[in-house]
Structure 1
Amino acid sequence: MPRVADHDARQGQITDAVQRLIVRHGLTAVTVARTASEAGVSVGLVQHYFTAKDEMLLATFTRVNERFTARVDELVNRGEAEGRTIAEMLRQALAELIPLDDPRRGEFLVRLAFADQAAHNSRLAAVQSQTLAVIRSRVSRAIANGTVCGEVAEGADATGQALRIVAFAEGLALHTHIDDAGTPESAVFAALDDQLGRVFTGTCRRGQSG
């Protein structure tokens, strides 16, 4: 068990270094030597964990996506415990995609860099596609649950609405990145509320009965 934990910690140390390099200098600046220097380890150690640069990049991309998913899971669990509406929890989850602070800004820059790289790398494209599918699926499930609960009108197209909502959130993330000063947090949440309000038009029946 300690060996597995050490292995994960070392990989995390290296992929965190890759992320920092991407945020500061872009994807083209990432090399095994620079990553080793950034992580404070030897080139040999980096090569021990990642036999090729592509493996290192793939692990970094995957790790960023896993961190996003873990945060969303935590938000949902906390929201359910606090009795929040599905719309409120979805609003918080979507905000994790938007570069509103340094951690999310760093993750956004990584996703942006890999979006370009994925156009020419089938393995990265597969991770990108899978990640998008998972996000859409979770939003679709939230809408379907909203229908059962009463927050969403009967007959709503959960899949179609999920596509629109996720695309809107990603577009909002890009606008925030390009024009940070002109896209304050208050405007971001107002835009999300407006978009979600088009789908989540009702009140949860469980809330009414409580």
Structure 2
Amino acid sequence: MSGAPTFSARDLAQVAVFAALIIALGLPGTINIGTSGVPITLQTLGVMIAGALLGPRKGVLAVLTVIALGLALPVLAGGRTSLTSLSSATAGFLIGWIPTVALIGWLTVKLLPRYNVIVGTAINLLGGIVVLYAFGIAGMMIRADLTFAKALSLNVTFLPGDAIKAVVAAAVAAQVHRAYPALLTGRAASRATASTPAPDAA
């Protein structure tokens, strides 16, 4: 049966858990480097992990939940709200969370049978750096009236830290997928195991 995507209670619980994780990773606060105004935050690590473990649909919903909560509450790193972020030069980075988690989730689903730390890191680098920075830099060019070269130069110092996050997220995801592959591909896993007798799940 085809139709609009539906979310089970289990799906929504997972979305809530990962939304809470993203928010919790913002509690340590932020570190600002240089004059770009872009803070170093662990919340992008949470976005990568959400995509790698929940897939595109649930991952996007988790990110949208954080952004929606941020309209009223200071759930972003540094005690910021979504409105504060969206009105600043860093708006593109917050908006970029959505395509970032969607791409990481989609590629992870496609490559899950062959997923490992190396593959996961490559996926996270594509989503968490290439895509996220594309949106972030575009936002800085629009909001702060910067040239592409200037906006890019202001963000170069953040690349090593985000690369480390990509590796950490991939390592976490690889371990979880080995132990609990159905977390990401519940329906796919069901099809795969349908032809093989298995004990009842607890």
Structure number with larger C-alpha Rg: 1
TM-score (norm 1): 0.30
TM-score (norm 2): 0.31
* Structure with greater contact order relative to length (CA < 8 Å, sep ≥ 6): 2
Looking at secondary structure, tell me which structure has more helix per residue.
Answer: 1
